[in-house]
A and B are shown apart, each in its own frame.
Chain A
Amino acid sequence: MSSKKPGERQVLESIYTMIALVFVLVTCVELCDAATVVDVYRLIQYDISGVPFGSRFATLNHHAGSLHFASGVDLSRTVVIIPVRELNITFVKEYFAQRKPLGGLLFLLPQMFNFENRDVVSGSEDEIHEKELIKTVLVELERLLIHASIPYPVYFAFEDDDIDAVLADVKRSDASGQPATATTGGYKLVVSAPEPKKIVSPTITNIQGWLPGLKADGDPNQLPTIAIVASYDTFGTTPALSVGSDSNGSGVVALLEIARLFSLLYSNPKTRGRYNLLFGLTSGGPYNYNGTHKWLRSFDQRLRESIDYAICLNSVGSWDNELWIHVSKPPENAFIKQIFEGFSSVAEELGIEVGLKHKKINISNPRVAWEHEQFSKLRVTAATLSELSAAPELFESTGGLSDSRHFVNETAIVRSIKLVAESIARHIYGHQGKNVQIFADDTSLAVNAPYIISWLDLLSQTPRVAPFLSKNDPFVVALKKELEDHTYEVHMQHEVLDGMFTLYDSTKAKLNIYQVASVTFDLLLLLVLGSYLIILFTFLVITTRGLDDLISLFRRPPSRKVKTA
């Protein structure tokens, strides 16, 4: 007996080490066995001067619910899934107004807003109509979400088959009013994200490039400058989806194309104008044009004074026949008059209506609605060309969720480019009022539509919320390279966004959808298993040892112990 013991112990020890090995292996295995994993995009979280806005949380771990719940149900531990297609905006408004607790919100966006998946082609009238309908709903939703402070996580996801199936299941069980169990389809939505952190001293990057004009020999005076400016960053309810095709992707595209056209003209000394052209891609647009402000501040006084006028391009991609020139000096001002007349004469030839809008600057108000107002504050004549007829509110028309490629019309951009380029060229070459088409179609100076489309597509796939763009973000570098191709002395200016706005990170996450069993189901299962084992035990005892043995087991347990000991 004693000789056998060490052997047995060895056997046991080897088993233990093997078990330990198995466990070590098992812990290495990533626990990722969810029914569905979906990319989700978090609602923006930001502070303005310390006042919180947006969704304040990121982690989610609650059961899924739909809008088909019985009234009066406590939803504080439920994630309500709302497809934007059937969104009831009054419900959301009511919930925000009454500050009712929710476990979370998950909005489902139609696939067409997914810029990564661009093969959704719209054809029929109905689809176009539906698109417009969804857009208006989205715009309203965005306005609601962005100015609210929401004490629970809010996420956006794209509709797909998996999540639709889950939603259908959830709706069914909500409609029947049964609690979630394994068989009736209880789902748990889990997002494990770290606590959102403030983005410390976010940088904004301005890019500028020059096309120097031809100086006459011995002319001591500095050449006048015309500046063409567009802000390229965006801001929206979901930073990871704010691509801003129209605001202000269209402006950036127009600026690049204008730079290309004038670089062709300026490459030949014969057609080189007596104006310097300054191209500026500014950042920080949604934050009261903070980047433009810093950019202008960095100029020296002489340069600033040399600017004849500046044209800011803002949202020029989805208009039918009417554009607006926004100015902050009264229309009677001679310079404004000159710009407006130049534009309207070209517009007339192109069959575009151009209107002039005057909005005074309120110095005491920190809100800067238009980019040209930053110029005007420094007494530089400037105007903004835009399809918007009125100044947008803070964080409106800044390239949010609804501003997708589907709503931007390339021909509108082409026409805007023609208008701006032609007007500026006539100003430079002194052709005001004459009917000379410099950038006529089918010439080497024609507007290049494929170039515009390719840049527009790229912009429509690149979320550009400035604080989330690093200093040397590939996109910013690409913009700089493109500008370098057309202009000279291109340089990037890195600035820190002013402290009034604070954004928080964790804009993207993975949502795990688990089908879960309720605790009662597990308890029931335990009961069933327990009774199964007991029945098995009694059956085995009766068949192998007889009924008497079984009874004796219960009658004299101590004697058995003595026996085995």
Chain B
Amino acid sequence: MTLFHFFNCAILTFGPHAVYYSATPLSEYDTLGTSVKAALVYLGTALVKLVCLATFLNVSENDSFDPYQELLKALIGFIDVAGLYFALTQLTHRNISQNHKFQAVGLGWAFADSVLHRLAPLWVGARGLEFTWDFILQGLEANANLVLSISLAALGSLMWLRKNKPKTLIPIIYACAGIVATMPSITSYLRRGLGWHFPKVVGFELFTSLVTAFISWQLFSACQRPSS
């Protein structure tokens, strides 16, 4: 029964990634390699981030919200953007369209994030006899993270790969990308600064991920129009 629960939570956490890959044209163009590379880049980025966090952040004993430390953390969080930039622009891909490239990169990125952050707690926690909602919520969080990663990758591809985009949209794109990139800091602030509970935080994440997905989709199609 407990293995059953683990299975359920694993489906919720990793299922959407697989579904996304197989449902969208990504599977038809065989972009798995791109995703795997993006995942590896994510691993490297995470390592760099860890080193930075360990170097610049002092460990606080209490779980309180320290603005200066959080600012530093947010800055370090931008290493993610650098990693994403590398994944989008520097990696040699097979000749796939930009459309598919950012999706593949976002997918690999989100999947690596889920594996790295959620698999081990899931394996340890959800197999136990004790029932908590935490792992189901964590699965939902993974879904929100998938949407956010793909949105960020979409915005990134707009910023770095697309040359002829409407001038008026550029500041909006940058602003959106900035907001999406600082998302982890925002949720951390909500959780610790305002003392929100996990279900509420997850709800917020789901909501914002849908909003950003919608916005980035609109931006993407807006940029698509003049070129096509």
Contact = CB atoms under 8 A, between A and B. Distances in A.
Do these two chains really belong together in a complex?
yes
Contacts of A541: 23-24
Contact of A533 (B15, B119, B124, B129): B15
Given A25-B120, A31-B127, A536 B8 contact: no
A20 to B, nearest CB: 13
Interface stretch (A85-93, A124-132, A264-272, A518-526): A518-526
Chain B interface, DSSP helix/strand/loop, else mixed? helix
B33 interface: yes
Interface residues of B, number: 30
Nearest to B10: A529
B83 interface: no
B124 A29 contact: yes
B20 A540 contact: yes
A190 B11 CA distance: 28
Contact of B36 (A11, A526, A529): A11
Contacts of B199: none
B23 A537 contact: yes
> Considering residues B15, B22, B131, which has the most beta carbons from chain A within 10 angstroms of its beta carbon?
B131
Nearest to A523: B4
Contact of A517 (B23, B123, B131): B131
Nearest to B43: A18
Interface in A296-332: none
Contacts, number: 85
B25 to A, nearest CB: 6
Nearest to A186: B131
Contacts of A530: 11
B16 interface: yes
B4 A519 contact: yes
Interface string A32-74: 0111000000000000000000000000000000000000000
B1 A533 contact: no
Contacts of B15: 529, 533
Interface in B113-138: 119-120, 123-125, 127-132, 136
Nearest to A543: B24
A514 B4 contact: no
A234 to B, nearest CB: 36
A98 interface: no
Given A525-B8, A529-B15, A533-B16, A182 B23 contact: no
B19 interface: yes
B130 A26 contact: no
A33 B8 CA distance: 19
Contact of A190 (B22, B125, B129): B129
8 contacts: A8-B36, A26-B123, A31-B127, A33-B128, A188-B129, A525-B8, A540-B19, A540-B24
Given A514-B129, A515-B130, A541-B24, 9 more contacts: A4-B33, A8-B33, A514-B130, A515-B131, A526-B7, A529-B12, A533-B11, A537-B23, A544-B23
